[in-house]
Structure 1
Amino acid sequence: MIEGIFVEGLIYSIMALGVFFTFRILDFPDLTVDGSFPMGAVIMAACLHQGITPLAGLVTAFAGGVMAGMVTAEIHNRLKVPHLLAGILTMTMLYSINIRILSNRANLPLLRVDTLLTRVHGWTEGIITPEWSSLIFFILVVLIIKKGLDLFFLTDMGLVFGALGNNEQMVRTQGINPGILKLIGVGLSNGLVALSGAFAAQYQGFADVNLGQGIVVSGLASVMLGEFLLRSNRISTLTLRVVLGSILFKAIMYLGRYYGYYINMTPNDLKLIAGILIIISLAAANIRNAREQGRS
């Protein structure tokens, strides 16, 4: 049970890191996430059923997510469409594309398919249980992705991304095209989201075009919950608290799913809980900022 909470939290933390990139670093509210997450899952499932290796499937899923994000950025850049509307347009189109990828099916099982997790379980068979091997595997995966992002944000390009989110006009005055930065940033963000979807499909044993419903809310809740766990401006701490926030969010959802019946809650109320968490987080952040300004 505990292992499952941590594994799901780690898988979805990859998605939350992508959401953190667009919402916090780029200041680009992006709803493409609701389409790129299931896109990663369906691409992964389609690749595995075609006999493509799991590693190649992950790379393909990541590339698909990058392309989806770049479409959103291009709609925003070329047509001057607001961030949210551009994301909604891409998300809507991705629903049909995802069904096409699954050969006009809404879902595809992976129970009898060789996945990356079945290989990990085979390597550790007789040593540790499948649950613990999955947990150790995803800890390593998330650590690698987190470290990669930390190093990326310390490069010149990474620092420019941070400047773009704070002051786009300043970036323009330096002779840098913000449109290209948004193209790269939103693409990388959705690549991470699709990668998370690919891992989620292998862990759950199926891919479904509806996996992404409300996923952006989960990502935002994870980001905001993490902001109350640790306070720092260091990028390594910022990414760490996103991961911790994702695990905490999954733990809260688990408690709501299995113990909510005491207060007449059902699984249908989980999206309500997620929305309330975000509202509470926003209210608490406003109160905290007001207190800090009062002290200064």
Structure 2
Amino acid sequence: MFISLFGAVESGVIYAIMALGVYLTFRVLDFPDLTVEGSFVTGASVAAFSIINGVPPIIATLLAAVAGFLAGCVTGVLHTKGKINSLLAGILMMTALYSINLRIMDQPTLSLLNETTLFQQLTSIWDAIGLDSVFNGLLSAIGMERFPKTWSIVIVMIFVTLAIKLLTDYFLKTEVGLALRAIGDNKKMIRSLSANTDSLIIVGVGISNALVALSGGLIAQLGGFSDVNMGLGLIVIGLASIIIGEALFGTKTIVRATLAVILGAVIYRIIVTLALRFDFLETGDMKLITAIIVVVALVAPKIIQSRKEKRRRIMKRQQLKAGGDSHA
């Protein structure tokens, strides 16, 4: 049980980077971008192909982000310069990326099991400086269970994800970031102020897909393979993470909203992991579980708000009645 939950947190922290990318398009830009289902695989395939061909894992991971940025920019160009509907532009790019990803990998799946990945290097460094034995020794001294071998990956990825979150927060408070947020609220108003909305949208969608591809490159190295179909349904996972986070932690400020997205991604992975422990559910039911989670996350807040509003009206009615009786 503990190992399963640990694995859920481990993958959830990495998927949180993807969720931040989806947040930029869906919430900030109000741009329903389906490119992410293709750019996630592009990041994975570029990272896997690069590592297999001798590129250092850290450079391969950065190349994955660059590839995602370029894919996002193409989607933005299709929408802004080609005047194609944003949803259709994303679908077209997602479809094109399927063939591009196959070209990059030259086969449906690339294995990294015999290659040195970023996470293997990280674990080796941890072992070399003795932090693994020190940490587990401390846990044993206080009677706690020994952590899995990959605990160092979780700790480093938490710091990496938080660093990306802080950079995203800072970016959204810059002049360009504020313009992107304004485009999502009222594009016509920003255009009337002589802002180059087309360029801003292209950059925004590019950054979003760079984060998605970065997550894909990391997931490929974590799982040990890149598969051409690993991005299917990813947009729903990203939206589920956003909706869960917003429902539980709120969105009053950008800092709070991005933190909610990260926590939502981790909670989503934990919920799926716990759900799959039921005997009547199988791995193939993951899409169904995701759909149910999204439905619950969307409906539950509305039901709760409706009940609060109903109680508020009843209390107000009672107060008015009590006031009327006192005057009588």
TM-score range, shorter chain: over 0.9
Matches within 5 A, 1:96-107: 96-103=99-106, 105-107=107-109
Q: Specify whether residues 183 and 117 from structure 1 end up closer, same or farther in structure 2 by C-alpha distance, changes over 3 A only.
A: same
Indicate which of 95, 114, 117 corresponds to 1:115. Answer: 117
Structure 1 residue 231: Cα displacement: 1.9
Superposed, which structure 2 residues align to 1:33-48 within 5 Å? 33-48=36-51
Unaligned runs of 5+ in 1: none
Offset, 1:79: 2.4
Provide the rounded CA distance (Å) in 2 between the counterparts of 1:292 and 1:237: 23
Give the structure 2 partner of residue 141 of structure 1. Answer: 160
CA distance in 1, matches of 2:211, 2:304: 31
Of 265, 275, 286, the match for 1:256: 275
Structure-2 residue corresponding to 1:159: 178
The separation in 1 between residues aligned to 2:184 and 2:301, in whole angstroms, is: 19
Q: Describe the SS at the equivalent of 1:207.
A: strand
Is residue 226 of structure 2 the alignment partner of residue 207 of structure 1? yes
1:273 aligns with 2:289: yes
Secondary structure (helix, strand or coil) at the match of 1:51 reads coil
Task: Give the AA of the match of 1:127.
Answer: L
Partner of 1:189: 208
Helix, strand or coil at the partner of 1:130: coil
**How much has 1:141 moved relative to structure 2?**
0.9
Q: Which amino acid aligns with 1:12?
A: Y
> Which consecutive residues of structure 2, in runs of 5 or more, have no partner in the other structure?
133-147, 314-328
Please list the CA deviations of residues 209-247 of structure 1 after superposition, one character each: whole Å capped at 9, or x if unmatched. Answer: 111010110000000000122124211111101000000
User: What is the correspondence of 1:41-56 to structure 2 with a 5 Å cutoff?
Assistant: 41-56=44-59
4+ runs deviating over 6 angstroms: 291-296
Per the normalisation by structure 1, the TM-score is 0.94
Cα-Cα RMSD: 1.7
- Flag the 1:292–1:166 CA change in 2: closer, same or farther, 3 A: farther
Q: How do 1:8-47 residues align onto structure 2 when only pairs under 5 Å count?
A: 8-47=11-50
Q: For residues 64-104 of structure 1, what are the alpha-carbon distances to aligned partners after superposition, in whole Å with 9 as ceiling and x for unaligned?
A: 0011111111111122221111111100110110010012x
Contact conserved, 1:3 with 1:131, CA < 8 A, in 2? no
Q: Distance in 1 between matches of 2:303 and 2:32?
A: 23
The alpha-carbon deviation at position 286 of structure 1 amounts to 4.0
Residues of 1 paired with 2:59 and 2:40: CA distance? Answer: 17
In structure 2, relative to structure 1, the CA distance for the partners of 1:209 and 1:287 (3 Å cut) is same
